[in-house]
Amino acid sequence: MNRRPFILGAAAAAMLLGAGGTALARRTLWNPCRASLPPDITGHEIVRAAWEGLDPAQVWDCHAHLAGIGDGGSGVNITPRMLSPLHPTEYFQRLFYLNAGCAHEAPGRVDQSYVERLHNLIDGMATGFKLMLLAFERTHDAQGQARPELTAFHIPNAYARDVARAHPTYFEWACSIHPYRPDCVEALEAAARDGARAVKWLPPAMGIDPASPACDRFYAALARLDLPLITHAGEEKAVHGAGQPAWGNPLRLRRALDHGVRVVIAHCASLGEDQDEDRGRNAPRVSSFSLFSRLMGEQRYATLLFGDISAINLRNRDLAVIRQLLEREDWHPRLLFGTDYPLPGILPLVSARQLAREKLLDPAAVPVLETLREHNPLLFDFVLKRHLRAGHRRFATGVFETRHFFDRKPA
């Protein structure tokens, strides 16, 4: 099940239920956006156990999205299609994303409300926990020119930087810079000076071919500045742009790795299929995750290639992927915790009950997790991933203590 049709189908189902189904729809589809956790959940053994053995000050969620509609002077921009019921997929995406971020009932202050909700959620985490807020670059063409008409949404670097600077105990930030831009190296150097911890890409949506020689000068600068690249790989249905689906192929990231760039493949490429380019132009398509696994097995990339575990627990993921990630303990030093917030706040996307039925989660944790999600989707995602299991294997504590990864080496 692909994420985008799933969200659209859920929204359409809510509409078809009509007035008589409003209560059911709100319970099963709509995030109630509750605030403080009930005391019995705050101190619950399952929640306490999730923090045991961890230093919260070392726990950074490395994959959290800023969102908004640009109503707060943020510079955020979204495609007009997201505002029009004539384009139902994009329209319902916006509704679900803003509801997940609890900013859907804040006319005139959506951007501010989204950030305020993040504050509320982080206050519910252990002291020291931080989010890394991701900027999101516009789509660009092959000549390096911005194409706003093909851009689904744009989160400016300056906005991510300023939100993080205003609340440094809550946030870090990652810039997003298109490598075809004439000023890409200068922009990267400026972002590094401003405290960016990484660079975020979504290649097909942004119009980036990671295997293109046009990226070389940007890769050289990334390696020189020791900034990691967090980039989507595998199938992407939620965001459209000017690029080609093939540009999400994990194998196309070899060019960055060969330049000495530390690459974090978002979601461990856990969705979709790509052509096995190692076997030639007419090679068959295989799972994107299998190509991620191949790269992880190449010794020359042992200190350069990483994966984040955001979104691996969505309903549209193959449960065998979760099991393999849990069982491959040799990979754990190269896996990084991330939530892909606000996605954990979209109720239909994650089922703790399904994970329990598949013996990846203790059934006793399910009611606690379901209550957590209504109040704090960040804590829900963290506690769920801390309790995932394949037999006796769980994610190592180091998967969650990500802060050290984003410390740059001295020049």
41-52 residue pLDDT tens: 999 999 999 999
Neighbours of 140 (CB within 10 A): 23
**Residue (of 346, 334, 344) closest to 385 by Cα position:** 344
21 vs 1, 11, 85, 170, 195, CA distance in Å? 24, 13, 21, 38, 48
Q: What does the mean pLDDT of the chain come to? A: 91
pLDDT score recorded for residue 299: 98
Helix then strand then coil, in percent of the chain rounded to 5, is 50, 10, 40
**Residue (of 184, 244, 176) closest to 220 by Cα position:** 184
pLDDT score recorded for residue 2: 41
List, for residues 161-210, the tens digit of each pLDDT value: 999 999 999 999 999 999 999 999 999 999 999 999 999 999 999 999 99
Reported as a pLDDT band with limits 50, 70 and 90, residue 81 is confident
Reported as a pLDDT band with limits 50, 70 and 90, residue 90 is confident
Q: Is the pLDDT of residue 5 over 60?
A: no
pLDDT score recorded for residue 53: 97
List, for residues 313-328, the tens digit of each pLDDT value: 999 999 999 999 999 9
Q: Exposed, middle or buried: residue 166 (CB in 10 Å: 0-12, 13-18, 19+)?
A: exposed
Reported as a pLDDT band with limits 50, 70 and 90, residue 295 is very high
Q: Is the pLDDT of residue 397 over 60?
A: yes
Reported as a pLDDT band with limits 50, 70 and 90, residue 28 is low
Q: Is the pLDDT of residue 393 over 50?
A: yes
Q: Exposed, middle or buried: residue 2 (CB in 10 Å: 0-12, 13-18, 19+)?
A: middle
Residue range 101-111: average pLDDT? 86
Query: For 62-71, 73-82, 269-278, which range has the lowest pLDDT when averaged over its residues?
Result: 73-82
Reported as a pLDDT band with limits 50, 70 and 90, residue 27 is low
Q: Is the pLDDT of residue 67 over 70?
A: yes
Percent of the chain with pLDDT over 70: 91
DSSP 167-192: -TTTEEEEB---TTSTTHHHHHHHHH
Structure tokens given for 320: 């065998």
Quick check: bond before 367 cis, omega within 30? no
Q: Greater confidence, 25 or 227?
A: 227
Q: Is the pLDDT of residue 401 over 50?
A: yes
Q: Is the pLDDT of residue 23 over 80?
A: no
pLDDT score recorded for residue 92: 86
**Residue (of 308, 310, 372, 343) closest to 125 by Cα position:** 372
Give CA–CA dist 176/136, Å, rounded: 5
Give CA–CA dist 284/264, Å, rounded: 25
In sequence order, what E strands does 77-129 have? 77-78
List, for residues 262-271, the tens digit of each pLDDT value: 999 999 999 9
Reported as a pLDDT band with limits 50, 70 and 90, residue 237 is low
